[in-house]
Amino acid sequence: MRRRTHFKAAAVLSAVALLTACGGNGEDEPEDDAPAAEETEDTGSESEDETEDTDTETGTDDGSMETDAPGTGGEAGEFKFGYLFPETGALAYLGPPQISALNMAIEDINAAGGVLGSEVPAAIGGDEGDQATVVQASADRVLAENPTAIVGAAASGRSLDVIDRITGAGVLQCSGSNTAPTFTDYDDGGFYFRTAPSDALQGPVLANTIVNDGWSNVAIVARADDYGRGLANATAEALENQGATVSVNETYDPVAQQYDGTVQAVVSANPDAVVIVGFEESVQIIQGLIEQGITPADYGFYGADGMRNPELGSLVDEGNPAILAGMKGTAPASAASDDFMTSLGEFDPALGDNTQFAPQVYDCAVTIALAAEAAQSADPADVAEAVNDVTIEGTACTSYEECKGLLEEGEDIDYNGASGPLDFTDVGEPGKATIEVYGFNDAGEFESLETVESNPEG
């Protein structure tokens, strides 16, 4: 379990979750709909379930730390970013907003004088894909260019495929969308950070939404990975704490050919509400439930960040997207993002409403750049020590330019970013979060309904 040493006086101290937040790892066998198990093992598209217990002490070929890692951190005096975002695969729609957010952050950083007096070069890109082999090969190519930090991956499972490669090479990793609870205590040597909140913070908000809507007997089905299990269990615990019954809490193989077993488990439980924690495969599960008469019109119907897709209604029924009218879900939100969203829209008009996790990715980049300024070093080890400190207990500031100016005046800073106050805990993640509650109106159109603050005490 990593911990960091704080050196506040020198401003040097020890930064991040859809269809994203995204999935994690674990080596449990798929519990339902198992026909795709052999395919998963053969192709490497392990539903993010392949490496939870990877040996991180000795090198292996499956994504764990290797003694001859291709990168050794940024070269002396040179600060630069790499990234691993989905350009292909099931989460490819998440790539554009995250790539644009990183590019806009670099532009803003350079407009304010760069880092350590030098312009930050264009980020070194790599495709995360949706298979371990894809993201591992991309990570090796990016690491070979000696970045100071790699932003990504988007999915928790893909990050778990490469975290030992990256941090073992002495390079920072920061994800704006990994939400699996696994990362909180992951042994990463102090080099992994995330600006997305753990699902331990999202689960209670999802549970509150369900109970406040009047439902009391809930069936939960989730992907068999760290993301699915973590969010399902956090939601179930919060539901039970409020007196609700969780009649089903089980996982499914996300690369199965069909989900009849999962659908039947929900039907047999006779719940009044159902929660699905998944990615694109959720469409098939929703279709199956609707065929069995469990519809958003008659039952509580809920998803999470992995299903926060404005086109979900059309994916379920192209001719009748209103079939999802009444469905709700939760996702990490941007607390104060109006200005950011306007700027991002001007920076990349092609994104439209596709902006999920863009604020969090932007904050990864700005936080790391500020940490380099605070440490007065581009050495990843020095930068890692400063990351937490630039998000807490200093003079509040909300932009790279403003925060950099304060550092130059010798002040400690508290960066409050595009995604809201970060307030990193010792393990390099937000200690509280703003969670969005979204829904689909009578026409099946996506709506953001409200935002709710979540913290361990609340």
CA 115 to chain centre: 26
Instruction: Write the burial class of residue 78 (CB in 10 Å: 0-12 exposed, 13-18 middle, 19+ buried).
Output: middle
Percent of the chain with pLDDT over 90: 67
Extract the tokens encoding 431.
Answer: 């200690």
Confidence of residue 22 (pLDDT cuts 50, 70, 90): low
Q: Considering the chain, what is the average pLDDT of its residues?
A: 84
Residue 76 has pLDDT above 60, yes or no: no
Asked whether 41 and 49 are in contact (CB, 8 A), the reply is no
One-letter amino acid of 174: C
User: What CATH number matches the domain at 6-197+340-421, 3.90.1150.10, 3.40.50.2300, 3.40.80.10, 3.40.50.300?
Assistant: 3.40.50.2300
Measured torsion, CA atoms of residues 186, 192, 197, 200, in degrees rounded to the nearest 10: 0
Residue 92 CA to residue 97 CA, distance in Å, equals 10
Residue 77 CA to residue 346 CA, distance in Å, equals 32
Can you give the pLDDT at residue 452? Answer: 86
Average pLDDT of span 261-272: 97
Domain boundaries, the chain: 6-197+340-421, 200-333+433-454
Helices (H) and strands (E) in the chain, counts: 13, 17
The residue assigned the tokens 């939960």 is 220
Contacts of 177 (CB under 8 A, 6+ apart): 17, 18, 20, 21, 22, 94, 98, 154, 155, 196, 332, 356, 357, 360, 361
Can you give the pLDDT at residue 8? Answer: 31
Which pLDDT tens digit goes with each residue over 418-454? 988 899 999 999 988 888 999 999 999 999 999 888 8
Can you give the pLDDT at residue 63? Answer: 40
Average pLDDT of span 355-380: 95
Q: 209 versus 6: which is more confidently predicted?
A: 209
Residue 20 has pLDDT above 90, yes or no: no
Asked whether 90 and 279 are in contact (CB, 8 A), the reply is yes
The residue assigned the tokens 């080890």 is 381
Which pLDDT tens digit goes with each residue over 286-339? 999 999 999 999 999 999 988 888 899 999 999 999 999 999 999 887 655 678
Can you give the pLDDT at residue 41? Answer: 33
DSSP designation for 118: B
Average pLDDT of span 70-80: 62
- In sequence order, what E strands does 158-237 have? 172-175, 192-194, 217-223
Q: CA geometry: angle at 211 spanning 264 and 334, to 5°?
A: 100
b (16+ CB within 10 A) / e for 342-374: ebbeeebeebeebbbbbbbbbbbbbbbbbbbbb
Can you give the pLDDT at residue 335? Answer: 57
Asked whether 13 and 373 are in contact (CB, 8 A), the reply is no
DSSP H helical segments within 352-396, as ranges?
Answer: 358-375, 380-387
Can you give the pLDDT at residue 333? Answer: 78
Asked whether 328 and 295 are in contact (CB, 8 A), the reply is no
Average pLDDT of span 359-382: 97
Q: 149 versus 155: which is more confidently predicted?
A: 149
Q: 37 versus 336: which is more confidently predicted?
A: 336
Q: Which fold has domain 200-333+433-454?
A: Rossmann fold (3.40.50)
Q: What is the model's pTM?
A: 0.76
Residue 48 CA to residue 189 CA, distance in Å, equals 22
Extract the tokens encoding 65.
Answer: 């730390």
Distances 421 to 11, 80, 119 between C-alpha atoms, Å: 19, 25, 26
Domains 6-197+340-421 and 200-333+433-454 share a fold: yes
Can you give the pLDDT at residue 183? Answer: 95
